[in-house]
């Protein structure tokens, strides 16, 4: 779970670059990265570039702020009816990028997929979860084998997707940006999701360009062709 927390912190930095910028005339953010997206499946990848890109497309029930404090995301709140159970109350306004509302069955599917997918990076940690139930359309209960107070930190890293969706060459999340297409060398183009439940990001488009050469990324940054060198953290 410590590894999950580290990746959450890294991903939040990229989200902040997209969503936290002030007003201005520019509507496109260009991020130069040293690699491309290995996959669009958030349950099977813990690679740096992929995580940073998908953090803007997918969300969990909860998230973490820069200080690694748990904050509400797709769940507007949660409680513990007893020591071995977590109950999550979903935002009724949250929607996937195709317009479908997020419902409890989507969450059940996503959490079970993260626990059971043969290539899931969460399978080991999620093995402590023995039951995931939809109590109604907006309430999900997660039960563990014994009291697991740190489970909430893990769930901050588990992305929610529509039930029965299998990421391949497309992505379907709830985040502030939606997947548009792959760029050269597995770079990714994103577009602002106008149906997002949260704060509206400033940039309309974001391009994550694969630029493996360090000198070339620096040149793009200094020339203004790129706004962020993700490897340098600039």
Taking only the tens place, the pLDDT of each residue in 168-196 is 889 999 999 999 999 999 999 999 999 99
For residue 36, tell me if it sits in a domain: yes
Which pLDDT tens digit goes with each residue over 71-130? 999 999 999 999 999 999 999 999 999 999 999 999 999 999 999 999 999 999 999 999
In a domain, 59, yes or no: yes
Range of the domain at 153: 2-229
What CATH number should be reported for the domain holding residue 114? 3.40.190.10
Give pLDDT, residue 6: 40
Is 216 a member of any domain? yes
Mean pLDDT for the chain overall? 90
**How many whole angstroms separate alpha carbon 47 and alpha carbon 45?**
6
- What total number of domains does the chain contain? 1
Residue 104 lies in a domain: yes
Q: Is residue 54 part of a domain?
A: yes
In a domain, 111, yes or no: yes
Query: Among all chains, which residue has been given the structure tokens 């360090």?
Result: 214
Residue 234 lies in a domain: no
Q: Max Cα separation, the chain?
A: 57
């Amino acid at each position: 779970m410590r590894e999950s927390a580290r990746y959450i912190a890294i991903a939040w930095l990229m989200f902040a670059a997209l969503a936290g910028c002030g007003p201005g005339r520019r509507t496109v953010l260009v991020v130069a990265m040293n690699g491309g997206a290995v996959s669009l499946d958030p349950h099977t990848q813990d690679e740096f570039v992929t995580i940073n890109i998908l953090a803007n497309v997918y969300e969990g029930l909860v998230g973490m702020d820069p200080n690694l404090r748990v904050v509400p995301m797709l769940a507007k709140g949660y409680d513990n009816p007893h020591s071995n159970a977590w109950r999550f109350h979903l935002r009724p306004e949250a929607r996937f990028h195709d317009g479908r509302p997020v419902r409890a069955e989507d969450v059940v599917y996503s959490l079970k997929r993260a626990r059971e997918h043969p290539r899931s990076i969460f399978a080991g940690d999620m093995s402590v979860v023995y039951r995931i139930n939809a109590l109604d359309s907006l309430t999900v209960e997660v039960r563990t084998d014994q009291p697991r107070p740190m489970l909430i930190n893990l769930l901050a890293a588990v992305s929610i997707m529509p039930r029965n969706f299998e990421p391949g060459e497309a992505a379907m999340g709830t985040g502030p940006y939606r997947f548009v297409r792959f760029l050269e060398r597995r770079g990714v183009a994103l577009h602002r999701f106008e149906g997002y439940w949260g704060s509206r990001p400033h940039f309309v488009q974001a391009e994550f360009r694969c630029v493996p050469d360090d000198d070339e990324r620096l040149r793009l940054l200094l020339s203004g062709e790129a706004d962020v060198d993700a490897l340098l953290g600039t």
